[in-house]
């Protein structure tokens, strides 16, 4: 047998052995958590799907580990230098690496049973109490079985590796020569490509992420498919990233105290979130449907733009004239993930941090799960891949029953790297809503558009709107919403539905006066329903995406637990609205705009109502301090809640 065949057989055999052991670990995790799937109806098919996804994730880890031996063996094979020393070296390599992988896998089983999540970077918080932690582990006798099985597996794995290498070395080995290199080199290239694909885990634009394991609304089965080592490493990497914070502005204790006073709360029960408050409705609950349309990059400034003497958003401007319109409204941040989190779950954007991408998914309390608990059908429509920004996993864990994404749409409808265009997405969403509407339960649907994001794909029909593609695409996005409403008006559910339209964030429009551009956060909020008779109404009090949840619950006259930073904008007037960009915080009222930049350490106070660029902080220091304290307290309290897993009140 050729040396190269023996070498490849060696690598593949160990690869398969490792996959079998990791699959057995997953089966053990399943058997110790059967209570979490008792209510699952499609039990067999869902378990099979979770286990299959598990092999997929296991293969990613195995490919990472196999990459080095594969490369070294292919290179040595060119010179016929694969020998006993090569095998002995990689025997040690495999045993050491997989000992760590198997250790994480077995430790994950009791850890998951206790915390209902995989082993993660939080274990490093125990470093200072390492002796106490070790004592606790060894005093818990139920852990002994996992330790024992782990030792047996490592010993057996090591024995099989040495046995395998010894047996392969006994085979008659022939050197590669002559024309055989024309087979050998392409074979090595193909194996390298397969290994890289295995490491990436998929053919798509992005490599595999933990969200790829999520496929249903059962939290345990979603987590079952994730490889513990993959999860642990991703969490360590994400946790090691440096994010902006405001620890130097206000302490956690003072921030929580200030925030509680703003919401009229006494110090909260330690078992609950510090800002949780029960809101009791004063009238009978309305059984109305809700449709939220998060419009990509829809700055309020775009509604004022005219090209060739015509508005580029004629439909939205007409809709405002028969709606509740909030003209002093701001996005929580400047990224889509911020807009989703704030609008649906009432949490502010923590600067450059993407909370949805946390490997340990934060459990939040907002419109989706609150309405789901009140018998609503919940749906989310996105234009791109389901795992983009970890959306699929995050949304399934936080109240959405059905997720529709690029994987559900015809491939020919994909327009760019961000997926399908707004007209198709809105049409598809309407058809799916029509399928759900005849049921006795009301529905809550969220539609996330994307066309107003570069690269712009402008239909020919809209090229005459302007010479600027960034305005042409806005006109297209506006028209897509017009068509959606035209078609929706024909449906029986239309008259009993509240439509909520807002930007996920803004964009740069025209000349900006301030270092923190207001057009990036100033967005429209339009709330329309044929059932409301007191429209149009313009609300000019400061408000933000975090206020959408309590405001909608107020319109529905429904009681609920408000564990968010939002208020009902029809009942409560904020003194200020706070928001952020990646490296700065902003706070605004009717007259002044306060900013603080974390990189430059410079803050400013501007009379934006007069479009003044003069920094008047020194003249109005008390005002600036008040705005700084208000915004910093909110951000710090939100960070505390996220860190201590208090974003959802435990029942």
Q: What is the CA radius of gyration of the chain?
A: 28
What single-letter DSSP state applies at residue 308?
T
Are residues 327 and 540 in contact, defined by beta-carbon separation less than 8 angstroms?
Answer: yes
DSSP string, 339-403: HHHHHHH-----TT--GGG-SSPPP--SHHHHHHHTT-EEEEE-SS-TTGGGHHHHHHHTT-SEE
DSSP string, 607-621: -GGGT-----TTTTH
Residue identified by tokens 């059984």 is: 287
Report the largest interatomic distance among the alpha carbons of the chain, rounded to a whole angstrom: 90
Backbone φ and ψ of 277, nearest 5°: -145, 140
336 is catalytic: yes
Other CB atoms within 10 Å distance of the CB of residue 392: 26
Q: List, as residue ranges, the binding site for substrate.
A: 453
Given CA atoms 156, 157, 158, 160 in this order, what sign does their dihedral have?
Answer: positive
Distance CA 289, CA 434 (A): 12
Distance CA 296, CA 452 (A): 6
The side-by-side arrangement of strands in the sheet containing 289-295 is 402-404, 377-381, 443-448, 289-295, 497-503, 525-528, 324-326, 537-539
- DSSP H or E stretch at residue 48: helix 43-78
Distance CA 66, CA 94 (A): 9
**Which residues are CB-contacts of 530 (< 8 A; sequence separation ≥ 6)?**
494, 495, 497
Are residues 383 and 449 in contact, defined by beta-carbon separation less than 8 angstroms?
Answer: yes
- DSSP H or E stretch at residue 330: strand 329-330
Distance CA 550, CA 564 (A): 8
Peptide bond into 536 cis (omega under 30): yes
Q: What does the block give as tokens for 481?
A: 């919403």
Tell me the angle at which helices 43-78 and 228-240 cross, rounded to the nearest 10 degrees: 80
What's the CA dihedral at 259, 262, 263, 268 to 10 degrees?
Answer: 40
DSSP H helical ranges for 416-522: 422-436, 469-488
Q: What does the block give as tokens for 464?
A: 């005459």
Q: List, as residue ranges, the binding site.
A: 296, 336, 453, 504-505
Q: Per the residue annotation, which of 334, 336, 343, 647 is the catalytic one?
A: 336
Q: 632: buried, middle or exposed (CB in 10 Å: 19+, 13-18, 0-12)?
A: buried
Q: List, as residue ranges, the binding site for Mn(2+).
A: 296, 336, 504-505
Distance CA 250, CA 256 (A): 10
**Which contacts of 314-322 are long-range, i.e. CB under 8 A and separated by 24 or more positions?**
314/478, 314/482, 315/478, 315/479, 315/481, 315/482, 315/485, 316/478, 316/481, 316/501, 316/524, 316/526, 319/485, 319/501, 319/526, 319/528, 320/524, 320/526, 320/536, 321/536, 322/528, 322/535, 322/536
Nearest to 528 by CA among 554, 496, 557, 553: 496
Q: 309: buried, middle or exposed (CB in 10 Å: 19+, 13-18, 0-12)?
A: exposed
Q: Tell me the HSE value of 478 on the side-chain side, using a 13 A CA sphere.
A: 23
Active centre residues (catalytic) = 336
């Amino acid at each position: 047998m050729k040396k190269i065949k023996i070498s490849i057989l060696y690598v593949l055999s160990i690869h398969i052995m490792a996959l079998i052991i990791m699959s057995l670990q997953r089966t053990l995790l399943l058997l110790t958590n059967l209570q979490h799937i008792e209510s699952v109806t499609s039990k067999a098919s869902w378990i099979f799907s979770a286990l299959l996804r598990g092999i997929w994730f296991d293969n990613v880890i195995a490919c990472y580990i196999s990459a080095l031996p594969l490369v070294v063996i292919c290179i040595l094979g060119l010179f016929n230098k694969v020998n006993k020393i090569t095998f002995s070296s990689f025997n040690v390599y495999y045993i050491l690496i997989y000992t760590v992988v198997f250790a994480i896998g077995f430790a994950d089983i009791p850890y998951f049973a206790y915390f209902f999540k995989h082993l993660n970077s939080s274990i490093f918080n125990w470093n200072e109490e390492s002796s106490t932690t070790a004592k606790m582990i060894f005093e818990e006798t139920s852990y002994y079985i996992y330790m024992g099985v782990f030792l047996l597996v490592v010993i057996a794995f090591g024995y099989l590796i040495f046995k395998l290498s010894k047996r392969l070395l006994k085979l008659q080995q022939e050197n590669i020569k002559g024309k055989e290199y024309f087979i050998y080199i392409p074979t090595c290239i193909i194996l390298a490509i397969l290994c890289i694909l295995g490491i990436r885990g998929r053919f798509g634009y992005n490599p595999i992420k933990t969200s790829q394991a999520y496929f249903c609304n059962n939290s345990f089965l979603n987590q079952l498919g994730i490889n513990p080592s993959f999860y642990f490493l991703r969490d360590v990497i994400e946790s090691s990233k440096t994010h902006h914070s405001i620890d130097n502005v206000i302490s956690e204790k003072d921030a929580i105290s200030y925030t509680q006073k703003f919401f009229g709360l006494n110090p909260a029960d330690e078992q609950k979130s510090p800002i949780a408050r029960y809101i009791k409705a004063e009238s009978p609950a309305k059984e109305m449907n809700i449709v939220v349309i998060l419009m990509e990059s829809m700055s309020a400034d775009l509604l004022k733009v005219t090209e060739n003497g015509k508005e580029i958003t004629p439909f939205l401007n007409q809709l405002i004239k028969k709606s509740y319109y909030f003209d002093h409204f701001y996005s929580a941040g400047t990224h889509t993930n911020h807009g989703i989190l704030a609008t649906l779950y009432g949490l502010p954007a923590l600067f450059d941090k993407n909370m949805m991408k946390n490997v340990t998914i934060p459990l939040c309390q907002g419109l989706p799960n609150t309405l789901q608990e009140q018998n609503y059908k919940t749906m989310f429509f996105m234009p791109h891949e389901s795992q983009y920004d970890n959306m699929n996993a995050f949304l399934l864990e936080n109240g959405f029953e059905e997720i529709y994404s690029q994987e559900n749409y015809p491939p020919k409808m994909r327009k760019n790297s961000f997926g399908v265009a707004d007209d198709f997405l809105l049409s598809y969403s309407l058809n799916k809503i029509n399928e759900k509407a005849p049921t006795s339960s009301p529905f809550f649907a969220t539609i996330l558009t994307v066309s107003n994001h570069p690269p712009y794909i402008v239909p020919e029909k809209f090229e005459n709107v302007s010479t600027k593609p960034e305005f042409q695409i806005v006109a297209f996005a506006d028209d897509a919403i017009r068509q959606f409403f035209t078609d929706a008006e024909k449906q029986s559910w239309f008259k009993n539905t509240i439509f909520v339209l807002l930007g996920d964030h803004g964009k740069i429009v025209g000349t900006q006066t301030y270092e923190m551009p207001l057009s990036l956060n100033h967005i429209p909020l339009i709330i329309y329903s044929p059932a409301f008779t007191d429209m149009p109404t313009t609300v000019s009090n400061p408000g933000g995406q975090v206020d959408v949840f309590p405001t909608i619950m107020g319109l529905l006259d429904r009681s609920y637990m408000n564990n968010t930073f939002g208020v009902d904008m029809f009942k409560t007037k904020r003194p200020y609205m706070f928001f952020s960009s990646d490296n700065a915080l902003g706070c605004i009222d009717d007259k002044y705009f306060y900013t603080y930049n974390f990189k430059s350490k410079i803050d400013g106070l501007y009379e934006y109502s007069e479009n003044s660029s003069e920094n008047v902080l020194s003249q109005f220091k008390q005002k600036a301090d008040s705005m700084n304290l208000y915004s910093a307290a909110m951000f710090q309290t939100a960070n505390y809640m996220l860190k201590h897993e208090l974003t959802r009140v435990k029942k």
